[in-house]
């Protein structure tokens, strides 16, 4: 943050004005007649441009000596970082297939718009609508909660088909959270709520990764059965996740205390639950989900204080 002082100038009998910093004006492409957003917070005025001033971010990437995993990671990072155009060079014809596959499964709004020889251009073609952000965050919660519930149903019913369907939800979560983080990074004005929301979205994706790993363990052991005790603790963890969702949208200090107490007691109950030798591989993931929900509490408090 750069702190700048400006003198107040009187225009006419009662109109007071201050000049805008020239560097900020150039960076945000502000012109005469443009409208700016002003948030009045008592002693503080926050001024920031609207979505129409979002600059087109461009970059280049060289995938000539890059493997499948690195290409996936780099494209995801560039997408969530808010880049609108990426010029990519490569030396392996298979690379274009990897790029297209990553776009299809993860990168909402991206398309390959140009390809010639060992070069392609990826662009954001659908536009980023910041007004969708609140709806998107709620959708992430609902898909994540559905993933948690359906995973337990699949375990109880010993249905491999149902568990495989849940893995599709996990892929949906990856796509939604990546796009949500992109929108948060594209916001012209980033306040504390932006930072905390970004952290919470990241943790929710990690929670869904834990559920995914549990499902994969089960699918890799066709004869695997979960005891009623472990099913019960699994169900309680799902309930905790749903309680956090309600807490996120209906914050209160009283509910914060209840959430912390429930997490403490649930950890103790998990420690005391007897896991068979086959079930022990699930333990670290269940414990991780509880810890990640606890991690979300601090950011949620920060959003409301």
Same domain (yes/no): 177, 296: yes
Residues 180 and 299 in one domain: yes
The pLDDT assigned to 5 comes to: 85
pLDDT at 116 over 80: yes
Q: In this predicted model, what pLDDT tens digit does every residue of 71-106 receive, in sequence order?
A: 999 999 999 999 999 999 999 999 999 999 999 999
pLDDT recorded at residue 50: 66
Last residue of a domain, one of 124, 159, 175: 124
Asked, for residue 77, whether it belongs to a domain, the answer is yes
Identify the CATH number of the domain in which residue 150 sits: 1.20.58.220
Q: Looking at the structure, tell me whether residues 258 and 186 fall in a common domain.
A: yes
pLDDT tens for each residue of 192-214: 789 999 999 999 999 999 999 99
pLDDT (0 to 100) of residue 114: 96
Say whether both 113 and 225 belong to one domain. no
Residue 1 located in a structural domain: no
Same domain flag for 293 and 155: yes
Which pLDDT belongs to residue 188?
Answer: 66
Q: What is the C-alpha separation between 305 and 303, in angstroms, rounded? A: 6
Ramachandran area for residue 29 (φ above 0: left; ψ -120 to 50: alpha; else beta): left
Domain range for 82: 58-124
Per-residue model confidence as pLDDT tens digits over 4-20: 888 888 887 888 888 88
Q: Which residues of 3-38 are buried (b: 16+ CB within 10 A; e: fewer)?
A: eeeeeeeeeeeeeeeeeeeeeeeeebeeeeeeeeee
**How many whole angstroms from its chain centre is CA 9?**
43
- What is the percent of the chain where pLDDT is above 70? 96
What value does the mean pLDDT take over residues 262-290?
A: 96
Asked whether residue 142 is domain-assigned, the answer is: yes
Query: Residue 109 belongs to a domain with what CATH number?
Result: 3.30.110.10
Q: What CA–CA distance (Å, rounded) separates 203 from 105?
A: 20
Task: Judge if 186 and 288 occupy the same domain.
Answer: yes
User: For residue range 123-174, what is the model confidence (pLDDT) as tens digits?
Assistant: 999 878 888 899 999 999 999 999 999 999 999 999 999 999 999 999 999 9
| Shared-domain flag, residues 115 and 140 | no
Answer yes or no: do 70 and 153 share one domain.
no
**Contact at 8 Å (CB) between 251 and 196?**
no
Task: Tell me how many domains the chain contains.
Answer: 3
Same-domain check for residues 253 and 213: yes
């Amino acid at each position: 943050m750069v702190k700048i002082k400006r003198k107040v100038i009187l225009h006419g009998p009662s109109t007071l004005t201050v000049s805008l910093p020239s560097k900020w004006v150039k960076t945000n492409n502000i012109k005469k007649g443009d409208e700016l957003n002003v948030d009045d917070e008592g002693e503080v005025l926050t001024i920031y441009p609207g979505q129409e001033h979002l600059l087109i971010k461009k970059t280049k990437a060289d995938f000539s000596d890059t493997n499948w995993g690195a290409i996936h990671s780099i494209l995801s990072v560039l997408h969530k970082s808010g880049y609108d155009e990426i010029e990519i060079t490569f030396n392996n014809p298979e690379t274009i297939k990897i790029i297209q596959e990553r776009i299809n499964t993860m990168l909402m709004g991206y398309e390959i718009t140009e390809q010639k020889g060992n070069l392609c251009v990826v662009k954001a073609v659908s536009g980023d609508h910041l007004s969708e952000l609140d709806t998107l965050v709620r959708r992430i919660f609902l898909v994540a909660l559905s993933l948690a519930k359906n995973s337990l149903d699949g375990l109880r019913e010993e249905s491999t088909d149902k568990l495989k369907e849940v893995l599709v939800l996990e892929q949906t979560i990856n796509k939604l959270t990546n796009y949500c983080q992109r929108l948060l990074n594209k916001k012209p004005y980033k306040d504390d709520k932006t930072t905390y929301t970004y952290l919470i979205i990241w943790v929710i994706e990690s929670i869904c990764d834990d559920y995914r790993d549990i499902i994969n363990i089960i699918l890799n052991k066709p004869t695997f059965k979960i005891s009623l005790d472990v099913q019960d603790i699994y169900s309680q963890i799902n309930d905790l996740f749903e309680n956090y969702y309600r807490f996120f949208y209906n914050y209160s200090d009283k509910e914060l205390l209840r959430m912390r107490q429930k997490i403490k007691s649930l950890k103790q109950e998990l420690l005391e639950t007897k896991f068979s030798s086959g079930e022990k591989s699930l333990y670290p993931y269940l414990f991780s989900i509880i810890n990640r929900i606890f991690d979300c509490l601090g950011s949620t408090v920060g959003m409301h204080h």
